């Protein structure tokens, strides 16, 4: 009998009314993107102080850390606890997929990277990011052919300013030097949101404008980025699933790329 795989989502944001109405919450957004039939997925609202017991960590095949409205360099109790937990998972060589906040705050932070406000300003909208093709050997999670670029939804004001020495750069863009990175064979971090669709992006943009955190003209420009292009969600889905499920060799990194 095939053993049932089990994963956990560390949710670092609160469900918006829109996502509750359209998807039943962010947990369902993540599971519908990265989950498969027959798997077990557990939700831990780490933003509210919900964490798994240390004795239960070994029963999970992988973990996903969501994005968050909190700063990537915050010191709230739950953020510090999440960092500590992920350090334990690092020691256990457990797979972690870090997205946005999870990419910046947790994975890069615990591995000794430098994080802070985005040097080129906040980024919101649909962006094309460039793959560091020399860093990924054919046959890894991209398959036999690594794409030159992929479109992904971006929504962040912080970024990785400097990768730790143990990390390998996998993608970059003209807005952000570190769009995707790996740490050994068990951590994969992505600055953008492979789980978001255009409707979720638009709702976030409108909410940010209503909170007086973005001017309307900037919001309009962010929405305009989706006019003639769609995010490459299928390719991102394949990549992230392959990483979490261990369907191929672990990214097969052989060279660390630096971007000027």
Q: Give the active site residues.
A: 100, 193, 195
CA torsion, ordered 214, 208, 110, 171, to nearest 10 deg: -70
The distance between the two most distant Cα atoms of the chain, rounded to a whole number of Å, is 57
The span from the CA of 206 to the CA of 166, in Å, is: 38
Give the C-alpha distances (Å, rounded to integers) separating 24 from 12, 16, 19, 32, 48: 16, 10, 6, 11, 18
CA torsion, ordered 35, 25, 62, 3, to nearest 10 deg: -50
Tokens of 174: 């003209």
């Amino acid at each position: 009998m095939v053993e049932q795989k089990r994963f956990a989502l560390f949710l670092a944001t609160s469900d918006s009314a829109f996502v509750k109405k359209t998807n039943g919450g962010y947990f369902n957004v993540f599971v519908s993107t990265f989950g498969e039939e027959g798997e077990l997925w557990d939700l831990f609202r780490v933003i509210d102080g919900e964490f798994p017991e240390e004795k239960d960590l070994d029963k999970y095949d992988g973990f996903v850390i969501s994005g968050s409205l909190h700063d990537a360099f915050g010191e709230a109790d739950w953020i510090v606890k999440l960092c500590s937990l992920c350090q334990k998972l690092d020691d256990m060589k457990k797979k972690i997929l870090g997205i946005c906040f999870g990419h910046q705050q947790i994975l890069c932070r615990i591995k000794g990277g430098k994080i802070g406000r985005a040097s080129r300003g906040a980024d919101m909208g649909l962006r094309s990011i460039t793959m560091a093709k020399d860093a990924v050997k054919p046959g890894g999670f991209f398959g036999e052919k690594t794409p030159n670029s992929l479109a992904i939804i971006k929504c962040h004001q912080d970024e990785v300013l400097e990768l730790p020495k143990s990390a390998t750069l996998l993608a970059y863009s003209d807005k952000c030097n570190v769009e995707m990175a790996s740490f050994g064979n068990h951590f994969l971090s992505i600055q953008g949101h492979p789980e978001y669709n255009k409707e979720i992006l638009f709702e976030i943009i409108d909410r940010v404008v209503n909170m007086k955190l973005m001017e309307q003209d900037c919001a309009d420009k962010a929405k305009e980025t989706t006019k003639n292009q769609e995010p490459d969600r299928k390719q991102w889905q394949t990549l992230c699933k392959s990483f979490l499920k261990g369907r191929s060799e672990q990214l097969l990194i052989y060279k660390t790329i630096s971007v000027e």
